[in-house]
Amino acid sequence: MSGSDGTDTGMTTAVEPDAVDAGYLAQAIELAKQNVADGGGPFGAVIVRDGAVLATGQNRVTRDLDPTAHAEVSAIRAACQVVGDFSLAGATLYTSCEPCPLCLSASLWARLDRVVFAADRYDAARGGFDDLAFYELFATPRSEWSMAIDTARPENAAAPFDAWLEADARTDY
């Protein structure tokens, strides 16, 4: 079930997790269940590098009034603070559910080596979450979205990038 245009439709090949993966996935699932017991969303995440847990995360959307506080994003933020770097290269993200587009992008920005998930977008949809809907939305033309995305290009639209490229003190990422 792959999209005719090559877009991912979520049919990631399920593999039998090895013992290490299974252990961290179990931890992520436990974090997710614990978060539900605490009144939060059913999502948990664990970030591991060199055999050590760098950080964990739970969904904090409703508690923190932060729609971006997904478990994976929370774990990425915490792990970066732990290692003192904005890159998590060499690390693996274990998450109780397939990352939504936000979290998948955050994983790319964090330069994670690997993402391993347990439940998928279809399980999330059954729980009333929009992961599947957003993946499907990304496969449709923006002109059909209910949220308008407009662009205007003033003369100095690219000026921030000019300034960036000229900045001697910039930190590339």
Catalytic residues: 72
Determine if 70 is a binding residue for Zn ion (CB under 5 A). Answer: yes
Binding segment for Zn ion (CB under 5 A), chosen from 16-24, 27-35, 95-103, 109-117, is 95-103
Q: State the Cα torsion 20-22-27-31 to the nearest 10°.
A: 150
Residues binding Zn ion: what is the number (CB under 5 A)? 4
Determine if 102 is a binding residue for Zn ion (CB under 5 A). Answer: yes
Cβ neighbourhood burial of 154 (10 Å; 0-12, 13-18, 19+)? exposed
Binding segment for Zn ion (CB under 5 A), chosen from 26-34, 92-100, 112-120, 142-150, is 92-100
Determine if 103 is a binding residue for Zn ion (CB under 5 A). Answer: yes
Residue 128 corresponds to which amino acid?
G
Determine if 93 is a binding residue for Zn ion (CB under 5 A). Answer: no
CA pair distance 102, 78, nearest whole angstrom: 17
CA pair distance 92, 50, nearest whole angstrom: 9
Determine if 100 is a binding residue for Zn ion (CB under 5 A). Answer: yes
The residues binding Zn ion (CB under 5 A) are 70, 100, 102-103
